Structure 1
Amino acid sequence: MLLNNALYLAWADTKARYKKSVLGPLWLTLSSMVGVLGLGLVWGTLLEEDMNTFVPSLSIGLIIWFLISGAVGDGATTFIRQSSVIRNVSIPHWFFVIRALARHVINLAHNLVIVLIVVLYFNVELTLNALLVIPGFLLVLANLFWITFFLGMVGARYRDLEYLISSFLPLLFFISPVVFRADRLPENMNIIWLNPLSYFIEVIRKPILGEVPDAKTYVIVVGILAVGCLVTYLFYRLRGHRLSFWV
């Protein structure tokens, strides 16, 4: 029941954001499409890439980035935004995390239209490997859950975290394999693999492009999930009871 309510409120939040606009949430798709076309033309020309392979890779990477950066960027304000509810109503704190994360999944659903158009236009061959996008997406979603939960707690305690994250997200974009393919970089650029978001992108993008992610990628994504959940759980056990005072 609580889960259904969280999902309903997430959809209501999305509709409220575009209240009285003609296209409504479709503006999400249009703005993302402009970003894909703009970056595709500019970077494809600068890097002298084959557009038939570059644009599909870029568009998928960009859509995944929107999901990840949106969840991470809003994570620090997850509980702050619901401060009045947290102070006055007894609701499990995971409810607010699900609500926040569901908004970004709804945005992703709108942006999937772009991926479909790109796949059809550039004749991207979908193989059985594409089914691996399901476990990959679920692993990323599970990671975004603990990240949102953890950042929400820390952000409620330290309000500067929100601005710190917004300052570093643009840097993370350029050291994440969104515009470029990680497997095509020279060895001296392997520093991007120190960025955990690189694995989140690759574990979803590669299956759509007909490739199988490396076993190492899955191991690291699962490892990040296990460690992250443990740290979040311990932090919540120690400080979670003070959350209503922090917000």
Structure 2
Amino acid sequence: MSTYIQNFQKFRPLLSELIARDIKTKYRKSILGVLWTILNPLFMMIVLSVVFSNLFKFDIEYFPVYLLSGQLIFNFFSESTTNAMSAIIANGPLIKKIYVPKYMFVISRIFSSSINLLASFTALIFVMLAMRVDLHYTVLLVPIPLIFIIFFSLGIGLILSAIAVKFRDIVHLYSVFVTALMYLTPVIYPMSILPEWLEKIVLINPITNILIMFRDVMMNNTVPNITSIVIAIVETAIALACGLYVFYKSQDTFILNI
């Protein structure tokens, strides 16, 4: 373990460069640049709020805040894992030339998306202030669910990046999976409208627990209960352990399939 830590410390400056490169590449030739990380969720919130609040008549107080908080968590998972999936493939030429710990490329994709997550969180605070939603002391606990979703996404990203090197079809299949997963996550709808059998399925989704935890500290002035935290720790640990195992077992064959 100490060898891995020393190796990470050695290449940490490279990680910073990779994160900066990912952000610059994403917003290259964009007039507003990084500002889109705030504007994009706001525009999507406005459109979806108008459609769903009128079409389905959800009885949710401060529905735009409810919707934006759901988007913040789920969109981060979707964006970060999708970007991580192509991390090894996209950096193939560099991997073939010099030795670099290959997991660095996956971590950089997750961390660059984390910067977008913080920008989206800023947008959420602005919306809450504009709608005069009370900000309680529990907001200080928001790092808990955010850390869970970041490291859970890292675990999934490691698995996807390893599989995508050999099976490129997963890049296309994953977009379908993410769309289906969104409907199994209470991003738009309240849990109360679900029949009991469907509610059980939605609760199995690890993102649901993290999202509920995030909404509790942001909107409901509720401290996360021990059960939710323990479940999140277990799910995140399993995702990371599986991700590291799959990546470690596959990384030696990457150069043969890039």
| Distance of 1:110 and 1:83 partners within structure 2 | 30
Question: Hey, what's the Cα distance between the residues in 2 that align with 1:120 and 1:4?
Answer: 37
Q: Does 1:154 align with 2:163?
A: yes
Shift of 1:173: 1.0
Structure-1 residue corresponding to 2:65: 56
Counterpart residue number, 2:207: 197
Query: Which of 143, 159, 166 is equivalent to 1:134?
Result: 143
Task: Give the aligned residue type for 2:69.
Answer: I
CA 1:51–1:183 in structure 2 vs 1: closer, same or farther (change >3 Å)? closer
Report how many residues are paired.
247
Corresponding letter in the other structure for 1:212 = V
1:213 maps onto 2:220 in alignment: no
Task: Identify if the C-alpha distance between structure 1 residues 239 and 12 changes in structure 2 by more than 3 Å, giving closer, same or farther.
Answer: closer
Matches within 5 A, 1:2-151: 2-50=11-59, 52-151=61-160
CA drift at 1:56: 1.0
**C-alpha deviation, 1:153, in angstroms:** 0.5
**Distance in structure 2 (CA, Å) of the matches to 1:184 and 1:124:** 24
SS at match of 2:87: coil
Q: Is the 8 A contact 2:81 2:110 kept in 1?
A: no
Deviation sequence 1:27-68 (CA, Å, 0-9, x none): 232222110001111111123235642111111111222111
Of residues 126-135 and 146-155 in structure 1, the stretch that sits farther from structure 2 once superposed is: 126-135
Q: Is the CA contact 1:57–1:181 (under 8 Å) kept in the aligned structure 2?
A: no
1:172 aligns with 2:158: no
- Give the aligned residue type for 1:154: I
- How far the C-alpha of 1:82 sits from its partner, in A, is 0.7
TM-aligned CA distance change 1:13 to 1:240, over 3 Å: closer
Instruction: Give 5+ residue unaligned stretches, structure 1.
Output: none
Cα distance in 2, alignment partners of residues 114 and 104 from structure 1: 15
**Aligned counterparts of 2:171 and 2:227: Cα–Cα separation in 1:** 32
RMSD: 2.0
Percent identical among aligned pairs is 23
CA 1:186–1:149: 2 relative to 1, 3 Å: same
Deviation track 1:120-161 (CA, whole Å, cap 9, x = no partner) reads 012222222222211221122111111111110111121111
Does the 8 Å CA contact 1:11/1:106 hold for their aligned counterparts? no
1:230 and 2:241 correspond: yes
Per the TM alignment, residue 225 of structure 1 is displaced from its structure 2 partner at its CA by 1.9
CA drift at 1:177: 1.0
Question: How far is 1:21 from its partner?
Answer: 2.9
- Superposition TM-score, scaled by structure 2 size: 0.87
Instruction: After TM superposition, list the pairs within 5 Å mapping 1:182-193 onto structure 2.
Output: 182=191, 185-190=194-199, 191-193=201-203
Structure 2 runs not aligned, ≥5 long: 1-9
In 2: Cα distance, 1:109 partner to 1:4 partner = 22
- CA distance in structure 1 between the partners assigned to 2:223 and 2:212 by the alignment: 10
